[in-house]
A and B are shown apart, each in its own frame.
Chain A
Amino acid sequence: MFISETIQYAISGITSGSIYAIVGICWSTVFLISGVLNFSTGEFVMLGGMLTWLFISWGFSLLPAIFFGVACTVIVAMLMERIVIRPVRYPSETTFLLITTAAGSVIRGIVLIACGSDTRHIEPFLGSSPIMIGDAVLLPQVIIVVSVLVLIAGGLVMFLDHTLFGKALRASSINQVGARLIGIKINRVRLFCFGLAGGMGAIAGIVIAPIEFTGYSVGLMEGLKGLVVALLGGWTIRGTVVAGLALGLLEGLGAGFISTGWKDALALFVMLTFLIIRTLDLTSIKKLVYRHE
């Protein structure tokens, strides 16, 4: 009984953890290229789910609805870079934080007005007949969520390591002046990365919608947790995947064995602890410890 309960909690943890990991990758895609902490990353997740629901409610079948949902979110993300981010004349982290937070509210507000405040649901892609692992239930949709994470993370690693354009993206995130001098158009690279983040976020929002519902406000928490795992993972793809799954498991097991109310608090507690530890200067602590030697 205890074992199958644990498996059940772990399954739900890995499910939401996969989404956190994808959202974390969206944060780093934008941040590493443009230095912008994009606080509307979560809204891309929400837009993906809500737009797909909208297209389905207009009578589209699943695949075209997903396609248009992702495409529209990519367009929104790119428009955001072009209209809201690029014209900023005196860029600073605070400016971008305020601007992207505001842009997020606008997107949320528009969706609220257009689609209402009800939570929405997309039918599971492969039906809802569960696969049993002992007494634990594994929904086919969970398998889709995890494979999407594998595809996105794996595909991105392949793209960045083995194509010239991928290498150019890495080069731009390492050294912008060097990148411009070898002829990389930094503005286009930024635009591409916003679009890429929008697309990946939207896919995350679509595949999770049949399990966790979607609605105009789901982006807030998903976005914040994505930031937590991007920070924990050191802004790398591998690190973010590990951190995402770890945070998901921690939440799943914590919610199961302690209480559901602790779920979000646990994630934020992890983030705060990490940020506090990171701001401590390790060398000065060492000096304190070894002072008498």
Chain B
Amino acid sequence: MTDSTYSQPVTSRTGECQLRIDGISAFYGEAQALRDVTLRLNSQEIVAILGSNGAGKSTLLRVLTGLLKHRQGRITFKGEDISGKEPDAVIKKGIASVPEGRELFGPMTVHDNLLLGAYTLDKQKRKELNDARLKMIFDLFPVLRDRLGQRADTLSGGEQQMLALGRALMANPVLLALDEPSLGLAPMMVATMMKTLKRLCKDYGLSILLVEQNAKAAIEIADYVYILERGEVRVEGAACSIMDDASLQRAYFGG
């Protein structure tokens, strides 16, 4: 177990800074869930946030998406202060999320779930984008095309995860924030999901903030990694350097 904060000079990262989270502290009632968390994400970068259960990973996403109000700190996205904004304002700025537990609309059809993803776009933009977006989503996940008229809650776990990701993409985001997209998926499916995320970053120019408990799968596609422990950033560094560090390997990747 290493206690020293492992850090890579931030200047070594290329690309312009897109999202900056500065000294965020958040509470559930009196219990502190996040303690002075600072991180940044550059455009077209995949940043993984790792850590065990209860480390504060999901809380961080809840703060970012506007579901939870934080007490201290600042979130800047593309140079604009978005701290404390409501979820609809955050998504309009270009941050879409795939939440923990997917939060789909089970009794509604796959098609309706996807269409609702574009809810915040104005009518004109929806008309322009919807068809192209649907095509892109079917290209990424061909199975969704066959399930279009089916109720969302009749899909398998993997298909539901694809739908949740598809719904987020419908909002035409710049940044995707995902909360444990590998949870409950078969290993094959996890690999496919990670490959898709890499593709979204490479081919479609999205930035991705990936919260994961499956550290091995996440670190393989990530550019930069933050490891949270009890609500604090314990370790940060480029993905390759973290993978090479033997003590970190033991502590966080089980070997």
Chain B nearest Cβ from A75, distance in angstroms: 25
A178 and B104 within 8 A (CB) = yes
* Interchain CA distance A174-B105 in the complex, whole Å: 6
**B87 interfacial contact with A, CB 8 Å:** yes
Residues of chain B at interface, number, CB under 8 A: 25
Which residue of chain A has the shortest Cβ distance to B112 in the bound complex?
Answer: A167
Chain B nearest Cβ from A200, distance in angstroms: 23
A185 and B86 within 8 A (CB) = yes
**A164 interfacial contact with B, CB 8 Å:** yes
Which residue of chain B has the shortest Cβ distance to A177 in the bound complex?
Answer: B103
**A120 interfacial contact with B, CB 8 Å:** no
Please name all residues of chain A whose beta carbon is closer than 8 Å to the beta carbon of B112 when the two chains form the complex: 167, 171
Please name all residues of chain B whose beta carbon is closer than 8 Å to the beta carbon of A164 when the two chains form the complex: 115-116, 119, 126
* Interchain CA distance A185-B92 in the complex, whole Å: 12
Chain A nearest Cβ from B28, distance in angstroms: 15
Please name all residues of chain A whose beta carbon is closer than 8 Å to the beta carbon of B108 when the two chains form the complex: 167, 170-171, 174
Q: Mark A184-198, 1 if CB is under 8 A from B, else 0.
A: 110000000000000
A170 and B88 within 8 A (CB) = no
B103 and A175 within 8 A (CB) = yes
Please name all residues of chain B whose beta carbon is closer than 8 Å to the beta carbon of A181 when the two chains form the complex: 65, 67, 87, 91, 97, 99, 103
Please name all residues of chain A whose beta carbon is closer than 8 Å to the beta carbon of B97 when the two chains form the complex: 181
**B149 interfacial contact with A, CB 8 Å:** no
Which residue of chain A has the shortest Cβ distance to B107 in the bound complex?
Answer: A174
Please name all residues of chain B whose beta carbon is closer than 8 Å to the beta carbon of A182 when the two chains form the complex: 91, 116-117, 119-120, 167, 171
B99 and A178 within 8 A (CB) = yes
**A127 interfacial contact with B, CB 8 Å:** no
**B184 interfacial contact with A, CB 8 Å:** no
Once A170-B105, A175-B105 are accepted as A-B contacts, the answer to whether A184 and B115 lie under 8 Å apart by CB is: no
Chain B nearest Cβ from A27, distance in angstroms: 20
A183 and B88 within 8 A (CB) = yes
**A168 interfacial contact with B, CB 8 Å:** yes
Chain A nearest Cβ from B152, distance in angstroms: 10
B105, B106, B108, B167: which has the most chain A beta carbons within 10 Å?
B105
B88 and A185 within 8 A (CB) = yes
B104 and A175 within 8 A (CB) = yes
Chain B contacts with A in 119-155, Cβ cutoff 8 A:
119-120, 126
Chain A nearest Cβ from B165, distance in angstroms: 13
Please name all residues of chain B whose beta carbon is closer than 8 Å to the beta carbon of A171 when the two chains form the complex: 105, 108, 112, 116
Contact partner of B87 (CB less than 8 A), chosen from A167, A174, A180, is: A180
A183 and B99 within 8 A (CB) = no
* Interchain CA distance A182-B112 in the complex, whole Å: 13
Please name all residues of chain B whose beta carbon is closer than 8 Å to the beta carbon of A174 when the two chains form the complex: 105-108
Please name all residues of chain B whose beta carbon is closer than 8 Å to the beta carbon of A170 when the two chains form the complex: 105, 108
* Interchain CA distance A182-B65 in the complex, whole Å: 10
* Interchain CA distance A171-B107 in the complex, whole Å: 9
Which residue of chain A has the shortest Cβ distance to B87 in the bound complex?
Answer: A180
B116 and A168 within 8 A (CB) = yes
Please name all residues of chain B whose beta carbon is closer than 8 Å to the beta carbon of A185 when the two chains form the complex: 86, 88
* Interchain CA distance A178-B100 in the complex, whole Å: 10
* Interchain CA distance A175-B88 in the complex, whole Å: 15
A183 and B171 within 8 A (CB) = yes
Which residue of chain A has the shortest Cβ distance to B99 in the bound complex?
Answer: A181
* Interchain CA distance A181-B119 in the complex, whole Å: 10
Chain A nearest Cβ from B12, distance in angstroms: 34
Q: Mark B50-75, 1 if CB is under 8 A from A, else 0.
A: 00000000000000011100000000
Chain B nearest Cβ from A173, distance in angstroms: 9
Please name all residues of chain A whose beta carbon is closer than 8 Å to the beta carbon of B103 when the two chains form the complex: 175, 177-178, 181
Chain B contacts with A in 14-69, Cβ cutoff 8 A:
65-67
Which residue of chain B has the shortest Cβ distance to A188 in the bound complex?
Answer: B88
Which residue of chain B has the shortest Cβ distance to A170 in the bound complex?
Answer: B108
* Interchain CA distance A183-B171 in the complex, whole Å: 9
Please name all residues of chain A whose beta carbon is closer than 8 Å to the beta carbon of B116 when the two chains form the complex: 164, 167-168, 171, 182
B88 and A180 within 8 A (CB) = yes
Please name all residues of chain B whose beta carbon is closer than 8 Å to the beta carbon of A178 when the two chains form the complex: 99, 103-105
* Interchain CA distance A175-B160 in the complex, whole Å: 15
Please name all residues of chain A whose beta carbon is closer than 8 Å to the beta carbon of B66 when the two chains form the complex: 180
A-B contact pairs, 14 of them (CB 8 A): A164-B119, A167-B112, A167-B116, A168-B119, A174-B105, A174-B107, A178-B99, A180-B66, A181-B97, A181-B99, A181-B103, A182-B119, A184-B88, A185-B88
Task: Give the 7 A-B CB pairs with smallest separation, nearest first.
Answer: A178-B103, A183-B120, A183-B88, A183-B91, A180-B87, A171-B105, A174-B105
A sample of 11 more A-B contacts (CB under 8 A), given A175-B105, A182-B116, is A167-B116, A168-B119, A177-B67, A177-B103, A180-B88, A181-B91, A182-B91, A182-B117, A183-B88, A183-B119, A183-B120
